[in-house]
Amino acid sequence: MPLFRRPSKPPQDAAATPITNRTYESESLEDAQADQDQLESGDLPSKAKIRLNRTISGELPWMSTYAIPDFILVERLRIEPLAQVTGTCYFHAATDNQGHIFLDSNLEAANLVRAYYRAKDEALSRLIQEASLVGAHAVLNARYRFRREETVVSFTILGTAVRFTGLNPPKRPLVSPLSGEETYKLMTRGWLPVNMALGYHWHCMPVGFSTKFSIARNWYNQEFTDVSEQFMQSRQLAIRKMHQDGARDYPVGGFVGVKVDYSVEETEILFMRSGMFDNGITVGGTFFPYDDAGRAEVPAFNTEFFVTGASVVRLASGKLSPSDIARFLLMT
C-alpha cells in the first residue's frame, strides 16, 4: 500500500457508521519529543507511567499475557497478575563511515558485543522500572526478542508484572522468561526463577592462504583445527559471560530453558597500515601487502555464539513457601 501518494485535497472521513463511536486521541509531536527526552534521562515515557498508575489504582483492569491454563496455575501459587509491562531498546554499534565494525586488539567485535548487552540492559531496566512502579515482585512470562540489522541491535521484552500475595515489594523485581506451567513446576520443587541472562561473543579470526584455500580446494577429509578451536573458545567465553550476567544482581543456582544460537561465517578483515615503514602483515604464513591507501584485506572467519537462559535458584527442598521467597527478596 503506497502511503505517500499525495492527494489533491486533504483526506476526508466518510460519515461515521453509527455503531462505532470511539475516537482515538492522537499523540502530539511535542509529546513524542518529551518521551524521547525522558527515555534519554533514564525515565519512562509519561504515557507508560500514567497507564501503570491507573492500572494499579484499579481504574483500569489488570492484564496478563498468560494462556488460561497457565493463568490458573499461577493463581494457585497465590500470584496475582498486575499489568503487562514492556521494555525496548535499539542500540547502534560504532562503525567507520563505510559501515565496518571496529574490532579491538584481540580481534573481537567488542562494540557489537557491547551493543547486545546495552540493548538488553536498557530494555530490561525499563521493564523493571515499569514493574517497580506497580509494586510488582516479579515479571513472569517475559518473552523477549533480539534482532540485529547490520550494526543496529534491538531487544524487546514483554511480560506480566505480578505480586506474590502478602509480601512486601522488593528492591528489584525478579524476571523470568518461563511459562506459567514451567514456573509452577519449578516452584513446587523448591526452585525460584530469578532473572534472564545473556552470553554473547563474536570473534573474527584472520586466516592465511593455507587455511582459506585448503578449505576451498582440498579433496581429502580434514579438520580445520584453528577454526574449530576458535569456535570452542567463543562458546566458552559466551557461556562464561552468561554466568557473570546472571549472577550480577542475584545469587544463581543454575540456568534452565537455555537457547543457543551460533554461526561460523567467512568474511574479510581490513587491516590499516600502522607505521611509515610497514609494508604489510603476515597471517598464517601468508604475506598481505598494504595497498596505496594503506589497507590490506585479509580473509577471515567469524565465530559467533549467542546464548540466553533463565537463571534459577534453589530455596527449599519441597514446595516453596512465601517466607522462603520473602527471605530471598530481602537478601538481595
Partner 1 sequence: MAEYSDLPQDALSRLHQESENFVFTSDLSVNEFILVEEAGFTPLGMVMGSSIYHIGYQQANWTKNQEMTVLSQAMYNARELAMTRMEEEADALKADGIIGVRLQVSHREWGQHIAEFVAVGTAVKAKDGTSHRTIKDKPFTSDLSGQDFYLLMQAGYRPVSLVMGSCVYHVAHQGTLAAIRQLGQNRELLPYTQGLYDARERAMERMQTEAAELKAQGIVGVHLNESNHSWDSHVLEFFAVGTSVVKFKEVEMQAPGLMLPMNDSSVD
Please state, in angstroms and rounded to a whole number, the distance separating the CA atoms of residues 75 and 183.
12
Q: By CB under 8 A, tell whether 78 contacts partner 1.
A: no
Count Cβ atoms below 10 Å from residue 231 Cβ, excluding itself.
20
Distance CA 10, CA 100 (A): 44
Please tell me the distance from the alpha carbon of residue 264 to that of residue 169, in angstroms, as a whole number. 45
By CB under 8 A, residue 8 contacts partner 1? no
Binding mask 153-192 for partner 1 (x = CB under 8 A): -x-x-x-------------------------xx--x----
How far apart CA 269 and CA 239 sit, in angstroms, is 26
CB of 228 to partner 1, least distance (A): 24
Asked if 30 touches partner 1 (CB under 8 A), the answer is no
> Residue 11 is which amino acid?
P
> What's the CA gap between 141 and 127, in Å, rounded?
13
Q: Is 272 a residue that touches partner 1 (CB under 8 A)?
A: no
User: Residue 150: CB partners within 8 Å, gap ≥ 6?
Assistant: 99
Q: Considering only CA atoms, which of 201, 187, 200 is closest in space to residue 322?
A: 187
Using the minimum distance from each CB to partner 1, give the nearer residue, 45 or 173: 45
Q: Where does this chain touch partner 1 (CB under 8 A) — which range of 86-94, 218-226, 248-256, 270-278?
A: 86-94
148 binds partner 1 (CB under 8 A): no
Is residue 15 involved in binding partner 1 (CB under 8 A)? no
Give me the least distance between CB of 52 and partner 1, in Å please. 9
Helix, strand, or coil here: 72? helix
C-alpha cell recorded at residue 277: 615503514
Footprint on residues 112-141 left by partner 1 (CB under 8 A)? 114-115, 118-119, 122, 126
By the rule CB under 8 A, 233 interacts with partner 1: no
- By CB under 8 A, which span of 85-93, 199-207, 260-268, 323-331 interacts with partner 1? 85-93
Give the integer Cα–Cα distance in Å for 301 and 266: 5
Minimum separation from the CB atom of position 273 to partner 1 (A) = 20
- Residues paired with residue 308 on neighbouring β-strands, in sequence order: 198, 259
Q: Which of residues 43-62 bind partner 1 (CB under 8 A)?
A: 45, 47-48, 50-51, 54-55, 59-62
| Given 24, 219, 220, 277, the residue binding partner 1 (CB under 8 A) | 24
| DSSP letter for each residue of 272-318 | E--STT--EEEETTEEEE--TTSEEEEEEEEEEEEEEEEEEEE--SS
Closest approach, Cβ 330 to partner 1, in A, equals 28
Among 42, 43, 53, 84, binds partner 1 (CB under 8 A): 84
